[in-house]
Amino acid sequence: MRFLNKINSHRTILHCDCNGYYASVECLLRPELCNLPMAVTGNPENRHGIVLAKNQLAKEAGVLTAETISEAKRKCPNLVCVRPQHDLYQEYSVKINNIYREYTERVEPFGIDESFLDMTDLWQNFAISPAKFADSLRKRIRENIGLTISVGVSFNKILAKLGSDLKKPDATTVISPEDLPTKVWPLDITNLLYVGKVTAERLRILNINTIGDIAKTDPAFLASYFGKIGENLSLYARGLENSEVQKYSELDEAKSIGNGMTFSEDLTDWTKIKDGLSGLVDEVVTRLIKAKKVCNVIQVQLKSSDFQVYSRQTTLDQHIQKREQIWVIVWQLINELWDETTPIRLLAVTVSGLENQGEVYTQMSLADLSSSNKQTVVAEDNKTKDSAKQDQIRNLVFKLNQQMGGNFLKLGKNK
* Residues with catalytic roles: 114
Looking at beta carbons only, is 21 or 263 nearer to Mg ion?
A: 21
Distance CA 14, CA 133 (A): 10
Q: Which stretch binds Mg ion (CB under 5 A): 4-12, 34-42, 111-119, 241-249?
A: 111-119
> With binding defined as CB under 5 A, does residue 109 bind Mg ion?
no
Looking at the Cβ atoms of 114 and 386, the one nearer to Mg ion is: 114
Minimum CB distance to Mg ion smaller for 80 or for 261: 261
Instruction: State the nearest-atom distance from the C-beta of 21 to Mg ion, in Å.
Output: 5
Query: Cβ closer to Mg ion: 18 or 80?
Result: 18
Rounded alpha-carbon distances, angstroms, from residue 171 to 15, 135, 151, 245, 327:
12, 8, 6, 22, 39
Q: Rounded to the nearest whole angstrom, what is the least distance from the CB of residue 144 to Mg ion in the complex? A: 18
Asked if 150 touches Mg ion (CB under 5 A), the answer is no
Residue selected from 113, 118, 241, 386 as contacting Mg ion according to rule CB under 5 A = 113
Question: Are 159 and 176 within 8 A, CB to CB?
Answer: no
Which of these ranges, 13-21, 41-49, 158-166, 312-320, lies near Mg ion under the rule CB under 5 A? 13-21
State the nearest-atom distance from the C-beta of 168 to Mg ion, in Å. Answer: 8
Q: Answer whether 229's CB lies under 8 Å from 219's CB.
A: no
Interior CA angle at 269 toward 299 and 365, to 5°?
A: 40
In 42-174, the DSSP E strands lie at: 51-54, 80-82, 107-109, 114-118, 149-154, 172-174
Contacts 24+ apart (CB under 8 A), 391-396: 392/363, 392/364, 393/363, 393/364, 393/369, 396/316, 396/317, 396/318, 396/363
Q: How far apart are CA 246 and CA 243, in angstroms?
A: 9
Q: How far is the CB of 214 from Mg ion (least distance, A)?
A: 25
Q: How far is CA 285 from CA 16, 114, 335, 389, in A?
A: 25, 20, 20, 24
CB 52, min distance to Mg ion, A = 12
Binding mask 192-231 for Mg ion (x = CB under 5 A): ----------------------------------------
CA distance 228 to 309: 13
* CA angle at 410 for the pair 408 and 412, rounded to the nearest 5°: 165
Asked if 17 touches Mg ion (CB under 5 A), the answer is: yes
58: nearest Cα among 69, 71, 72, 47? 72
Closest CB to Mg ion among residues 20, 130: 20
- As measured in angstroms, the least distance from the Cβ of 403 to Mg ion is 37
Query: For residue 390, how far is the Cα from the chain centroid?
Result: 37
* HSE-CB of 147 using CA atoms within 13 angstroms: 27
| 50, 69 contact by CB (below 8 A) | yes
Element (H, E) at 236: helix 228-237
Nearer to Mg ion (CB atom), residue 172 or residue 304 = 172
Residue 50 bridge partners (DSSP): 68
Angle, nearest 10°, between helix axes 86-100 and 130-144? 140
Q: Among 107-115, 199-207, 264-272, 295-303, which window interacts with Mg ion (CB under 5 A)?
A: 107-115
Tally the residues of the chain. Answer: 415
Q: Using the minimum distance from each CB to Mg ion, give the nearer residue, 21 or 338.
A: 21
Stretch of 9-17, 241-249, 255-263, 388-396 contacting Mg ion, by CB under 5 A: 9-17
Nearer to Mg ion, 168 or 216 (CB): 168
Q: Any bridge partners for residue 90, and if so which?
A: none
Site string for Mg ion, 315-354 (x = CB under 5 A): ----------------------------------------
Q: Which of these segments, 106-114, 217-225, 252-260, 275-283, binds Mg ion (CB under 5 A)?
A: 106-114
Residue 24 CB, nearest approach to Mg ion (Å): 9
How many residues bind Mg ion (CB under 5 A)? The answer is: 4
Min dist CB 23 to Mg ion, Å, is 10
Provide the binding-site residues for Mg ion, judged by CB under 5 A: 17-18, 21, 113
